[in-house]
Amino acid sequence: MKNFDLVVAGVGGQGIILASRVISNAAIAAGMEIRTSEVLGMAQREGPVTSQVRMGKNLQGALIPAGQADALLGFELSETVRNLYLLKPGGTVVTSTTTIVPTTVALGLSTYNREELMAHLRQTVSALVTVDTERLAREAGNVKALNSVLLGTLAALEKLPIPAAALRETLLSIVPPKLQEVNERAFDLGYRSIGVS
């Protein structure tokens, strides 16, 4: 089994930590070692959040060195771009097309250009998958289920050393019972989104 390094990036309130927990628990259930590191930024809603998940055998530390991540799972466009330095050449990026405009932009202190961010990703990343998570999560029944949409999309690519069914099962074992149905739908919509978004 080859070791696998994954970066999960977005902003507070998007479910980044839950997604990382699902991946970590599924990896443990599959017999892998894991190391995780989380950076919660300002530890508030809409502050940057990054989680690094290393899985495999004989892992060295929790932090992924720059240029070594096999994949980047981006929940918000600018955070995806901000974390590209961790991705290895030929690495895979699965990103939401969702944008959350920072407070500094609303105050006129900085700019945010979605088209420039997308162009940068297209020019920089050879294995890029974009997902309209907001639309798919809404279709699943809850716009907050975007993390489950992205987990489903990542599972469909078969890049993780975890079978899609195991990832889905782990997700459903972690979310509260009243949210299982919507998260199951969101995961399935994300899984089927490959080639559609």
Tell me the Cα Rg of the chain: 16
Predicted TM-score (pTM) of the model is 0.92
Structure tokens, 47: 């502050």
pLDDT exceeds 80 at position 197: no
Identify the DSSP state of 86. G
Strand segments, DSSP code E, in 1-83 are 4-11, 33-39, 48-56, 69-74
The correct answer on CATH 3.40.920.10 for the domain covering 4-192 is yes
Whole-angstrom distance, CA of residue 58 vs CA of residue 161: 15
Burial class (CB in 10 A: 0-12, 13-18, 19+), 78: buried
Burial class (CB in 10 A: 0-12, 13-18, 19+), 170: buried
CA 167 to chain centre: 13
Provide mean pLDDT across the span 39-65: 84
pLDDT exceeds 50 at position 196: no
Provide mean pLDDT across the span 93-115: 80
Strands 4-11 and 69-74: parallel
Residue predicted with more confidence, 42 or 191: 191
Structural domain boundaries of the chain? 4-192
Structure tokens, 128: 């890029």
pLDDT exceeds 90 at position 168: yes
Whole-angstrom distance, CA of residue 133 vs CA of residue 33: 30
Average pLDDT, the chain: 91
State whether residue 46 is helix, strand or coil: coil
